[in-house]
Amino acid sequence: MALENKGLNWIANLVLSLFAAACLIPFALLIIASLSSESSIIQNGYTFFPSEFSLSAYDYLWGHSIELGRAYGITILITVVGTAVSLAITSALAYPLSRRDMPLRNFWTFVVFFTMLFNGGLVPTYLVYTQLFDIKNTIFGLLIPGLLMNGFNVLLVRTFFLTSIPPALIEAANIDGAGEIKTFYKIVLPLSLPIMATIGLFQAISYWNDWFNGLIYLTDSRLFGIQTILTKMITDIQFLTSSSNAAGSASHAAAELPSTSVRMAIAAIGVLPILIAYPFFQKYFVKGITIGAVK
Amino acid sequence: MGLNTSRRWNRFMKYSPLTLLMLPGLAYLLINNYMPMFGMFIAFKNINYSKGILGSDWIGFKNFEYLFKTSDAFIITRNTILYNATFIIIGTILAIVFAILLNEVRKKVLSRFYQSVIVLPHLISFVVVGYLAYAAFSMETGFMNKTILPLLGIEEISWYTEPKYWPYILTLVHLWKSIGFSCIIYLASIISIDSEYYEAATLDGANKWQQIRAITIPLITPVIVMLTLLGIGRIFYSDFGLFYQVPMNTGMIADTTNVIDTYVYKGLMISGDIGMASAAGVYQSIVGFVLVLLANYVVRKINRENALF
Amino acid sequence: MKKKMGWTSLLLALILTLSACSGSGSNKDNGAVNSDSNGESSEGSEKPYEVVYAYPTFDNVPVDIQLVQDEINEISKAKINVTVKLMPISNSAYGNQINLMMSSGEKMDMFAMLGNYNTQVSKGMLHPIGDIMEENAQGIIDALGPDYYNATKVDGVSFGVPSIRDLAQDYGFVMRKDLADKYSIDFSQIKTFDDYGKLFQVLKSNEPDMVSAANASGGSILGTYRTYDQLGNELGVLLNNGLDDLKVVNWFASDEYENMVRKLREWYLDGYLLKDAATTPESTQAVLKSGKAAGYFSQMKPGFESQEGRIVGQDMVAVRTVSPVAKTDTVTNVALGVSAKSENPEKTLQFLNLMYTDKEIVNLIDWGIEGKHYVKADGQDIVIRYPEGVTGDNVSYKNYGWMHGNQFLSYVFEGDEPDVYVNMDTFNKSASKSKALGFTFNGDPVKNEIAASNAVLDQYKRVLESGAVDVDKVLPEFLKKLTGAGIDKIIAEKQNQLDKWAASNSAE
């Protein structure tokens, strides 16, 4: 028995370390490319052993350090606030949907699900948010549209509650006189830390990675978050390096951009902070919560 | 009669705290999703900005025509469906396998290391993934042509002009990028399974494999069903970045890389016609909707509990 | 319940949409407008009208934009009682933002267009400004000259004006001067497209590790090298740059095109072109800088060699095989227009007029404030440079002269020939003119066919024009798909519109 478990442990380590390598190697290549000189990339392609190292990409980014610093601040604020609010309203909506005795449960689930299939598209959404709520060029433009909550997470959490929280537990709490809302945050939520950590992570990633809201709901670039700036840089470089643009004259501006290595450096500085924050979420991936003990 | 209303009243009161919990979320869905949905009528209009969006002329299904106009209509539809079906099937299986394996890793440090590393690809934008793929497949400087193929004694391959390799490449890139993410979802449900079940099974002499089959899989089935249904609902959509940036938008391999989203993008890039863009969205949504209703119906027939609604 | 829910949301959505549409009339900025339209007579004391000017930017928004804007406003307020609000929008969001601002009725009076003048006209985004211009802003027309002004007319009215820069183009090949000198290349021998083969052969035999012609990412080897008038969108063109007749043909089915792609294929097989041409993610200039290629095909203008030389960091020399020609597309390529939603097109146009006639305004927009963002070069009147300690990287204001009005009024940056704009003016005036100069195609009636054809072009054009594929196999396939997408219908429509345009033109 023990032998068999050990065997599985070995297989698990083998498979996972291979996959981990597959994830890490391209990332390492990216970092090295960001440190390579422009002409060595063009001459020899991306390689782990570039013929010439250069810090020009980071120099270029350093030249924008004030802007990037402010953008990091905005993104961190948005990510923290957004994730917290999102966890609250997502779990609050998901819990009643998971209760088998909840009236109209299927209907409301469908209401949630439907939003994942149909959307009005960019223009109508923009009209709702700018005309009705006037969030253009405010921080709410980064926080609310599209990101605050999504049907996917709601259904995920609902399914989790459905499968992992025994109804008997809730009944017991009710009999003890705990109100529904109290039961929810005193009993259900503490038992759901893994899924909360999971969607918390998803939300944090999607806030961190979002550049689209910035480009749509902001024209004032002082409010841009880090990914908006980075995406803007990448697409501007892409536009300037392509000759197919209608205004050939635009290539003026391409003058001194160390384009390839900058793109890689941009990717690197966009990813690193969230990697640093990752262990925070992992804390809650605790194995073996014994629900039985409560029963 | 009076008894009936008071019973209803009681019922309403009993569930009012739960209803209250739902309110913020539902309000958000109303604003963020349902109100803009009304704007789908744009798909049936020839938008002229000086007339305004409401004042523009109705043109029926004219905005939809370009979706079927091309001789490639069949190919792009086929590609979209086949890729998505492959992604759903292989992606689900691998994610579950990885989640189970992750759960078996004894050393905490290692387990945490794997957990962080496998979501790394998810954090890199597709533009950059495109360059990394180029680093591997470039004709002159690519890693495949310069290092791997010579080792195997194979002649160099012009990857970006040979359609036959791309279904494999794109599937690999997709799995590489998304597995970590879905693996984490399954892992969260696996680690929340009551350990009593496993203890009881061990006492009964069940081995690991039997435990996985009899306990783990059935208990995470609702999650599997849900994720699969969602995948089916979006089967006409495709990950634009994957299909546009990774093949570097190269024409010769379009037979195996062109999907509905890339076609729409290429067609409308110049004109930026919002009516036609909206038409594509409506088309994709409706097909997905019909398919998901069917799939949910099938699930319901098999096991009522597992159906989404 | 279900039904009820449906109705409420429908109702809400309706209210919302109505509010969205009336939104344009009830915006915050209204105060200024109303007082303006009512009190045309009481000029001087009235609040100045604010023109919001949106344009794309390829860099970060300059730190000092507010300072520059204040300086501009001081002048424009005194002259025409108008102030301007510069609204640079990141190029990656520009197309979307213009669409969104137009649909929501946000305040925006004037915007720049890069290569999409004709689609913006057919989408109803632009106010017909021709009449106002002819009455009140003659300065713009004078600066442009009648020929180029007429090129902006759609159905007899102008909807926008090009910035004044190179309005015609010639076409050729630009390459490193050191290589040309070293192998004593005789450019007078190169007269046709086919002749480039001889040049490439010399280069290849002497520099075996270097390719002859590079291309930009997303572009083909031909790049912007054109021997035809594309009439708005390349789907249906006039051969020989429209100098011969008004017969719209399918360029990709022409003998000339076939010959060109066959040549390119030959050159590709001979190793003259990048093997990765169809997928390269680099700019041509970067590829040249790295020493991997010798030159590239391009559209050109006076001073082109020195412009490219500055970017590549080496002296360049160019050979031109298509002589200068002006076409509607080369004129309206970069254009400024007044939004159809502008509350006061007249005032907006008065400001636009300043951008074409007022040297101070032009230089403020293009270069910023003298002494702070630039200084006059020693003893020079029109040549400028950065002040001590300021470089192109850290200057706190920069902009794109070719986009904003009359570039010919702008200072010349040190390093360019001082008379570059004089030369360009001569170039514009002396260029031959396509017979269809002034014809703007309205693609609306065939927009489905255009979308389908554009998707086909995107698939085939670049690979064919990079020599990467077998012409015998791929060209027929390309043409077949174009036919399937309905290119013939587009050509017929174009021919029809062009004939009508020609008839009304000759009647005038």
CB atoms A205 and B35 under 8 Å: no
Spatial distance between the Cα atoms of B78 and B66, rounded to a whole number of angstroms: 17
If you average pLDDT over every residue of chain C, what do you get? Answer: 86
Taking phi over 0 as left and psi of -120 to 50 as alpha, with beta for the rest, C389 belongs to: left
Residue C496 has pLDDT above 90, yes or no: yes
The Cα-based distances of B186 to A92, A166, A188 in angstroms read: 22, 19, 19
Residue C1 has pLDDT above 80, yes or no: no
The Cα-based distances of C129 to C111, C134, C150, C197, C342 in angstroms read: 13, 9, 13, 48, 11
Higher pLDDT: C22 or B20? It is B20
Query: Which 3 state secondary structure label does DSSP give C471?
Result: helix
Q: Does B36 touch chain A (CB under 8 A)?
A: yes
Please state whether beta strands C169-176 and C293-300 pair in parallel, antiparallel, or not at all (unpaired): antiparallel
Spatial distance between the Cα atoms of B66 and B69, rounded to a whole number of angstroms: 5
Q: Give B289's contacts in chain A (Cβ within 8 Å).
A: 117-118
Q: Does A236 touch chain C (CB under 8 A)?
A: yes
H/E run at residue C482: helix C471-485
Report the range of poorest mean pLDDT among A39-48, A83-92, B12-21, B295-304: A39-48
Q: Please, what is the end-to-end C-alpha distance for chain B in angstroms?
A: 32
pLDDT of residue C290: 84
Residue B2 has pLDDT above 70, yes or no: no
* Contact of B231 with B88, CB cutoff 8 Å: yes
CB atoms A248 and C292 under 8 Å: no
Residue C32 has pLDDT above 60, yes or no: no
pLDDT of residue C204: 93
Residue A30 in domain: no
Question: In the A/B pair of chains, how many CB contacts fall below 8 A?
Answer: 294
DSSP letter for C370, please.
B
Q: What Rg do the C-alpha atoms of chain A give, in angstroms?
A: 24
Q: Give C271's contacts in chain B (Cβ within 8 Å).
A: none
pLDDT tier for residue A257 given thresholds of 50, 70 and 90: low
Range(s) of the domain holding residue A82: 63-294
Q: Give C120's contacts in chain A (Cβ within 8 Å).
A: none
Q: Which of C216, C291, C333 sits opposite A241 (nearest CB)?
A: C216
Min Cα–Cα distance to chain A from B123, Å: 6
pLDDT of residue C28: 37
Residue B49 in domain: no
CB count within 10 Å of CB B23 equals 12
Q: Does C13 touch chain B (CB under 8 A)?
A: yes
CB count within 10 Å of CB B11 equals 11
CB count within 10 Å of CB C185 equals 18
**Per-window interface: B 82-121 vs A, CB < 8 A:** 98, 101-106, 110, 112-121
Spatial distance between the Cα atoms of C91 and C108, rounded to a whole number of angstroms: 17
Please give the tally of structural domains in chain B: 1
pLDDT tier for residue B188 given thresholds of 50, 70 and 90: confident
Alpha helices in C371-446 (DSSP H): 420-430
Backbone angles phi, psi at A53, to 5 degrees: -90, 155
What the block records as the tokens of C7 is: 């109705």
Min Cα–Cα distance to chain B from A68, Å: 18
Q: What percent of chain B has pLDDT over 70?
A: 99
pLDDT tier for residue A64 given thresholds of 50, 70 and 90: confident
Minimum CA–CA partner of A269 in chain B: B124
pLDDT of residue C21: 42
**Per-window interface: C 423-442 vs B, CB < 8 A:** none
Residue B257 in domain: yes
pLDDT of residue C22: 39
Sign of CA dihedral B190, B193, B197, B199: positive
Residue C8 has pLDDT above 60, yes or no: no
Min Cα–Cα distance to chain B from C455, Å: 5
Residue A187 has pLDDT above 60, yes or no: yes
Q: Give A126's contacts in chain C (Cβ within 8 Å).
A: 100, 103-104
Residue A226 has pLDDT above 70, yes or no: yes
Q: Give A16's contacts in chain B (Cβ within 8 Å).
A: 98, 101-102, 105, 110, 114, 118
Higher pLDDT: C324 or B124? It is C324
Min Cα–Cα distance to chain A from C41, Å: 34
* Contact of A94 with A158, CB cutoff 8 Å: yes
Residue B148 has pLDDT above 90, yes or no: no
CB atoms C484 and B71 under 8 Å: yes
pLDDT tier for residue A241 given thresholds of 50, 70 and 90: low
What the block records as the tokens of C213 is: 């012609």
Residue B224 has pLDDT above 60, yes or no: yes
Amino acid (1-letter code) at residue C110: M
Q: What is the CATH number of the domain that holds B283?
A: 1.10.3720.10
Min Cα–Cα distance to chain B from C388, Å: 38
CB atoms A216 and C310 under 8 Å: no
Q: Which of C10, C443, C481 sits opposite B71 (nearest CB)?
A: C481
H/E run at residue C88: strand C82-90
Q: Which of C96, C115, C286 sits opposite A247 (nearest CB)?
A: C115
| Greatest C-alpha distance within chain A | 76
Minimum CA–CA partner of A109 in chain B: B309
pLDDT of residue C507: 66
CB atoms B66 and C20 under 8 Å: no
* Contact of B166 with B192, CB cutoff 8 Å: no
Q: Which of B35, B46, B161 sits opposite C16 (nearest CB)?
A: B35
Q: Give B180's contacts in chain A (Cβ within 8 Å).
A: 23
Min Cα–Cα distance to chain C from B87, Å: 25
List the beta strands (DSSP E) in C311-453. 316-326, 334-338, 375-376, 383-385, 412-413, 432-433
Residue B37 has pLDDT above 60, yes or no: yes
Query: A158: Cβ–Cβ under 8 A, 6 or more apart, which residues?
Result: A94, A95, A97, A98, A109
pLDDT of residue A133: 87
If you average pLDDT over every residue of chain B, what do you get? Answer: 89
Which other chains touch chain C, taking contact as 3+ CB pairs less than 8 Å apart? A, B
Which other chains touch chain A, taking contact as 3+ CB pairs less than 8 Å apart? B, C
Long-range contacts from A111-114, C-beta under 8 angstroms, 24+ separation: A111/B26, A111/B29, A111/C5, A112/A151, A112/A154, A112/A155, A112/B29, A113/A151, A113/A155, A113/B233, A113/B292, A113/B308, A113/B309, A114/A151
Higher pLDDT: B52 or A16? It is A16
Average pLDDT over residues C58-68: 87
Test the C interface: residue of B270, B274, B278, B309 with most C CBs within 10 Å: B270
Q: Give C451's contacts in chain B (Cβ within 8 Å).
A: 66, 69, 267-268, 271, 273, 276
Q: Write out pLDDT tens, residues B249-271.
A: 888 888 899 999 999 988 888 77
Residue A177 in domain: yes
Residue A295 has pLDDT above 50, yes or no: no
CB atoms A131 and C20 under 8 Å: yes
Minimum CA–CA partner of C307 in chain A: A252
Residue C105 has pLDDT above 90, yes or no: no
Q: Does A216 touch chain C (CB under 8 A)?
A: yes
Secondary structure of chain B as H, E, C letters: CHHHHHHHHHHHHHHHHHHHHHHHHHHHHHHHHHHHHHHHHHHHEECCCCCCCCCCEECCCHHHHHHHHCCCHHHHHHHHHHHHHHHHHHHHHHHHHHHHHHHHCCCHHHHHHHHHHHCHHHHCCHHHHHHHHHHHHCCCCCHHHHHHHHHHCCCCCCHHHCHHHHHHHHHHHHHHHHHHHHHHHHHHHHHCCCHHHHHHHHHCCCCHHHHHHHHHHHHHHHHHHHHHHHHHHCCCCCCHHHHHCCCCCCHHHHHHHCCHHHHHHHHHCCCCCHHHHHHHHHHHHHHHHHHHHHHHHHHHHHCHHHCCC
Min Cα–Cα distance to chain B from A220, Å: 23
Taking phi over 0 as left and psi of -120 to 50 as alpha, with beta for the rest, C383 belongs to: beta
Residue A18 in domain: no
Q: Please, what is the end-to-end C-alpha distance for chain A in angstroms?
A: 30
Min Cα–Cα distance to chain B from A184, Å: 9
* Contact of C328 with C320, CB cutoff 8 Å: no
CB atoms B15 and A102 under 8 Å: yes
Q: Give B252's contacts in chain C (Cβ within 8 Å).
A: 278, 463, 468-469, 474
Q: Write out pLDDT tens, residues C165-220.
A: 889 999 999 999 999 999 998 899 899 999 999 999 999 999 998 999 988 777 88
Range(s) of the domain holding residue B119: 64-306
Residue ranges of domains in chain C? 46-165+327-442, 169-228+255-317, 444-507
Tracing tokens 């905490």 back to the chain, one arrives at B108
Average pLDDT over residues C367-392: 87
Q: What Rg do the C-alpha atoms of chain B give, in angstroms?
A: 25
Residue A22 in domain: no
* Contact of C293 with C214, CB cutoff 8 Å: yes
Q: What Rg do the C-alpha atoms of chain C give, in angstroms?
A: 25
Residue C69 has pLDDT above 90, yes or no: yes
Secondary structure of C94-145 as H, E, C letters: HHHHHHHHHHHCCCCCEEEEECCHHHHHHCCCECCCHHHHHHHCHHHHHHHC
Minimum CA–CA partner of B138 in chain C: C276
Q: Write out pLDDT tens, residues C331-371.
A: 998 999 999 999 999 999 999 999 999 999 999 999 999 99
pLDDT tier for residue B84 given thresholds of 50, 70 and 90: very high
* Contact of A282 with B116, CB cutoff 8 Å: yes
Spatial distance between the Cα atoms of A223 and A240, rounded to a whole number of angstroms: 24
Q: Which of B24, B105, B120 sits opposite A9 (nearest CB)?
A: B105
pLDDT of residue B174: 96
Residue B276 in domain: yes
Q: Write out pLDDT tens, residues C223-268.
A: 889 999 999 888 999 999 999 999 999 999 999 999 999 999 999 9
CB atoms B266 and C14 under 8 Å: no
DSSP-derived secondary structure for C240-262: GGGTS----B-GGGSHHHHHHHH
Backbone angles phi, psi at C211, to 5 degrees: -90, 160
DSSP letter for A184, please.
I
CB atoms C58 and A231 under 8 Å: no
Q: Write out pLDDT tens, residues C465-474.
A: 999 899 999 9
CA angle B256, B261, B263 (to 5 degrees): 65
Min Cα–Cα distance to chain B from C94, Å: 11
CB atoms C274 and B52 under 8 Å: no
CA proximity to C349, closest of C158, C140, C490, C79: C140
Which other chains touch chain B, taking contact as 3+ CB pairs less than 8 Å apart? A, C
CA proximity to C151, closest of C130, C174, C126, C181: C130
ipTM of the complex: 0.88
Query: B8: Cβ–Cβ under 8 A, 6 or more apart, which residues?
Result: none
pLDDT of residue A7: 82
Are C46-165+327-442 and C169-228+255-317 in the same CATH fold? Answer: yes
Spatial distance between the Cα atoms of C410 and C382, rounded to a whole number of angstroms: 8
pLDDT of residue C39: 38
The Cα-based distances of A70 to B205, C10, C54 in angstroms read: 60, 41, 24
CB atoms B36 and A128 under 8 Å: yes
Q: Give C394's contacts in chain A (Cβ within 8 Å).
A: 63
Residue C375 has pLDDT above 80, yes or no: yes
Q: How many helices (H) and strands (E) would you count in chain C?
A: 20, 15
CB atoms A113 and B309 under 8 Å: yes
Higher pLDDT: B113 or B194? It is B113
Q: Write out pLDDT tens, residues B67-81.
A: 988 778 899 999 999
Fold classification of C46-165+327-442 is: D-Maltodextrin-Binding Protein; domain 2 (3.40.190)
Minimum CA–CA partner of C102 in chain B: B49
Amino acid (1-letter code) at residue C340: A
What residues form DSSP beta bridges with C110? C53, C338
pLDDT of residue A258: 59
Give the relative orientation of helices B166-191 and B108-118 as an angle to the nearest 10 degrees. 140
Please give the tally of structural domains in chain A: 1
Spatial distance between the Cα atoms of B156 and B250, rounded to a whole number of angstroms: 19
* Contact of A196 with A284, CB cutoff 8 Å: yes
Does domain C169-228+255-317 fall under CATH 3.40.190.10? My reply is yes
Q: Write out pLDDT tens, residues C35-52.
A: 334 434 444 567 899 999
Q: Which of B15, B25, B191 sits opposite A92 (nearest CB)?
A: B25
Q: Give C460's contacts in chain B (Cβ within 8 Å).
A: 251
CB atoms B15 and A234 under 8 Å: no
